[in-house]
Structure 1
Amino acid sequence: MSVAANIPFIAPNLAGSGLRIGIVMSRFNTPVCEGLRDACVAELKTLGVAEQDMLITTVPGALEIPLVLAAMAESDRFDALIALGAVIRGETYHFELVANESGAGVSRIGLDYGIVVANAILTTENDEQAEVRVLEKGTDAARVAVETANLLKALQV
């Protein structure tokens, strides 16, 4: 007999039907970001999220993502948000600044507004590493958004 046999348990729920999802995508490193978007949207549809329950917006770069996420969170129109972007190392310190600040901003939105924000902003050394991670990370973002939105709803009951 399991030690936790009598403890209530909320099972993972990947049913996306009825969930409203907001997506913010950076246009910097466009081919990578569009690949993330396509993988994410395909998985959201597979999980049952209807196209009319998704909204995709774009911003110039990763640093602008948190601001738009905040506006979406404030609108109270979404059950979950997804951040899509790619920060690829260059020859300057700018990579560290953008990677750290965008990541911190995305995390803060979730905590400040009590909404799940799936962070699929890739931070890689080169284009090849980003391209390899596009499908997995885009798919993961959709699954994280749906599962965590359902968990938050279950905890409100």
Structure 2
Amino acid sequence: MFVSNLGSTTTLDGSALKIGIVQARFNEDITNALAAACIAELKAMGVSDDRITHVHVPGALEVPLALAALAQIEDPEPFSALIALGCIIRGETYHFELVANESGAGVTRVGMDYHVPIANAILTTEDMPQAVARQTDKGRDAARVAVEMALLLESLA
């Protein structure tokens, strides 16, 4: 059996991939920075603008439904990978845990149900400075994960 080690030493080539991004608007300054870093990294790996679909939803709880809608699109071709972008910052109530747990579970479920790789870059932080500290690196990481997993699944098919 062939085992891929795409991300460790190989430059990732996303030029043949079609990528969908779902971005939550809540904490928009953070999610805009995540998206900018993510899209810049996708382009650096060869994914062209016309191969990226970028949609917005109100918040993290809405991300999985939009991911599922994208995963169902097969005309003219299915998405190679999807990316979830959002930011959940802990508050004083249990709402943080609810949103973090349910959005994370939903993202995972969509990936498994539709057999499409999803890079989950929905940040869950204690405060705004933690979110700001992570926004750029996590956006880039999401792009790399999406491309690497799409290429891996392609090689296993």
TM-score band w.r.t. shorter chain:
over 0.9
SS in 1 for 2:91: coil
Matched, 1:147 2:145: no
- 2:131 partner letter: A
Are 1:20 and 2:14 an aligned pair?
Answer: no
Q: Which residue does 1:138 correspond to in 2?
A: 139
Deviation of 1:18 after TM superposition, in Å, equals 1.3
CA distance in 1 between partners of 2:83 and 2:118 (Å): 5
Alignment-mate amino acid for residue 65 of structure 1: V
Which residue does the alignment assign to 1:3?
A: none
Which consecutive segments of 4 or more residues in structure 1 shift more than 3 A?
Answer: none
One-letter amino acid of the structure 2 residue matched with residue 69 of structure 1: L
Larger Rg: 1
Q: After superposition, give the CA deviation of every residue in 1:7-54 in whole Å (9 maximum; x if it has no partner).
A: 743230611001000000000000000000000000000000001000
Determine what percentage of the aligned residue pairs are the same residue: 58
Does 2:8 correspond to 1:10? no
Please give the alpha-carbon distance, in whole angstroms, between the structure 2 residues aligned to 1:48 and 1:30.
26
Q: Which residues of structure 1 form unaligned runs of 5+? A: 1-6
Task: Spell out the pairing of 1:105-116 with structure 2 (5 A cutoff).
Answer: 105-116=106-117
2:70 is the alignment partner of 1:40: no
Q: Indicate the residue corresponding to 2:67 in structure 1.
A: 69
For the residues of structure 1 that align with 2:104 and 2:20, how far apart are their CA atoms? Answer: 17
Residue identity in the other structure for 1:82: I
In 2, the alpha carbon distance for the partners of 1:72 and 1:106 equals: 12
Structure 2, unmatched stretches of 5+, are none
When the two structures are superposed, what TM-score results if normalisation uses the length of structure 1? 0.93
Using the alignment, how far apart are the partners of 2:51 and 2:121 within structure 1?
20
Q: Helix, strand or coil for the counterpart of 1:75? A: coil
- TM-score by length of structure 2 reads 0.93
Query: C-alpha offsets along residues 119-143 of structure 1, whole Å, 9 cap, x if unaligned?
Result: 0000000000000001110000000
Tell me how far apart the structure 2 counterparts of residues 8 and 82 of structure 1 sit (CA, whole Å). 26
